[in-house]
Structure 1
């Protein structure tokens, strides 16, 4: 039985399944999608199967992981969004919830990233009862920065991640509640 975590007006956010391999491959093999992700798009479906297995293991290990974004009307795979529990140190933080999203290029600019990010934050604060959520975006990724600010995250600082400057964002429960 597939687990649906959140539904919005246009979207279903559900667990990523092994059957999402074609959609995930379309997403992660696109060099434009990977422009601010280290410029290392995947080159075969075996790599994507490993990514899917990794995410599904996060569901088991941490009770949360990224979710598939599905169009309610067409049932098409749009990308992924949601929370990841980060257990390795990043910018002097460890064991924190990270908000993320990645969309197939043809869905860019339609408000889907904002809708999915906001629903993910609502889930974090209302269902998981977390106190704060963080996010990271490459300093040159203006689209991602706009989404994070639009859903209420506040810029904290710039830091170096693998030799690339990134913006560090945070939102806490009170700030989220004030935005709703």
Structure 2
């Protein structure tokens, strides 16, 4: 099992086939999907496919989303991390996208912020990325706050799949200055 990052409370590691139950608890929750423009997962077979897809991204791109594990309880909290986006989104292609998704019982505990900072550390220190992008549904106040809290700058608003989204960016120099403020 590969661990990509650790924080005070979290282990960010590769997805494993054994993550099915925790991932299903996350993605079958309609409230988790409220701002995602999609419908919750209906069965565990879909989760098995999602884990296989993410694990293939590790092989194809050297990066993919990571499972977030609580260090104290070993619980699956959700996922975070980077994804190399190879298709065009908001007129961008071949860029690192920062994302996160947490089980509802872990919301409002600073976990998304903690995992996102660790993801950016990895992006700039290990991948030597020059910039990282992220997007959030305009109505998702919590996610938009996390992105600005960790130093991303709102660049513009655009429409994706009939949903109004905010488009964010951070470069390595901006992140270095933000890292000093942590």
TM-score norm. by structure 2 comes to 0.98
What is the match of residue 162 of structure 2?
163
What is the match of residue 50 of structure 1?
49
- SS where residue 91 of structure 1 aligns? coil
Structure 1 portions without partners, runs of 5+? none
Cα deviation per residue 1:109-141 (whole Å; 9 max; x = unaligned)? 000000000000011000110000000100000
- SS where residue 136 of structure 1 aligns? strand
- SS where residue 52 of structure 1 aligns? helix
Distance 2:70 2:161 in 1: 34
Distance 2:38 2:53 in 1: 20
4+ runs deviating over 2 angstroms: none
Preserved contact between residue 31 and residue 39 of structure 1 (Cα < 8 Å)? no
TM-score norm. by structure 1 comes to 0.99
Once the 2 structures are TM-superposed, how far is the Cα of residue 38 of structure 1 from its aligned partner?
1.1
What is the match of residue 107 of structure 1?
106
Distance 1:39 1:159 in 2: 18
- SS where residue 135 of structure 1 aligns? strand
What is the match of residue 117 of structure 2?
118
Distance 1:164 1:130 in 2: 28
What is the match of residue 144 of structure 2?
145
Structure 2 portions without partners, runs of 5+? none
What is the match of residue 24 of structure 1?
23
